[in-house]
A and B are shown apart, each in its own frame.
Chain A
Amino acid sequence: AQTVTQSQPEMSVQEAETVTLSCTYDTSESNYYLFWYKQPPSRQMILVIRQEAYKQQNATENRFSVNFQKAAKSFSLKISDSQLGDTAMYFCAFMKAASYDKVIFGPGTSLSVIP
């Protein structure tokens, strides 16, 4: 069975600074997808970034980038130039690529951006 671990329940960062959220996962699958989702107080789960396991290049989306280490089963999220609107719960998630299967979520990291 796949598991996703986020070891940082809470983090804070000063506005305009950079922060890195950690995520590790366990799987015996060779092909899969990894995601970071953001859930602000509005509750809407928003996709931040997506990584395909067979691609070695790390995904980037504007201020958000990942460090994907497949051998180490690590998938961290870096947020550059943090903004107040980045304050939210961040969930690391895993999905097998064999079929559009369920998404397995980590427990989440609560990020607060301090003005």
Chain B
Amino acid sequence: EAGVTQSPTHLIKTRGQQATLRCSPISGHTSVYWYQQALGLGLQFLLWYDEGEERNRGNFPPRFSGRQFPNYSSELNVNALELEDSALYLCASTFGGLNIQYFGAGTRLSVL
């Protein structure tokens, strides 16, 4: 069974551009979570999608947004990139009743 997959592995952008990160959950999982892991700051919760709806978001500005598609895959968009957006972005998936989140290998976003 395939795990959580994220693409691309690495992404290099310049300040002011937009970045799109993608996540495919484990088959059968309906919830997708996004986390930002910035150097020295640990993992910070970004967004939670379940059944196509945004259920919760962390303390991040509105230029961080996303969506979940009917096949439960998800996309994270970061607009107007700033240097401090450089981080590893991790996606996790789960399904109701399990209470365990399974993580992908992440997308390393570098903003120059």
Contacts and interface: CB of A to CB of B under 8 A. Distances in A.
Our verdict on whether A and B bind, yes or no, reads yes
Interface of A: 33, 35, 37, 42-47, 50, 91, 95, 97, 100-108
Interface stretch (B19-27, B64-72, B76-84, B92-100): B92-100
Contacts of A33: 99
Given A91-B43, A97-B99, A100-B31, 10 more contacts: A35-B100, A44-B103, A47-B100, A95-B101, A100-B50, A100-B99, A103-B45, A103-B101, A105-B42, A106-B42
B102 A100 contact: no
B: contact size bracket? 20 to 34
A102 B96 contact: no
Nearest to B31: A100
Main secondary structure of the interface of A (DSSP, over half): loop
Contacts, number: 51
Contacts of A108: 42
19 contacts: A37-B103, A43-B88, A44-B103, A44-B104, A45-B90, A46-B103, A50-B99, A95-B99, A97-B99, A100-B50, A100-B94, A100-B96, A102-B33, A102-B58, A103-B43, A103-B45, A104-B45, A105-B35, A108-B42
Interface in B38-93: 42-43, 45, 48, 50, 56, 58, 88, 90, 92
Contacts of A44: 103-106
B106 A103 contact: no
B106 A105 contact: no
Given A45-B103, A47-B100, A102 B88 contact: no
Nearest to B102: A47
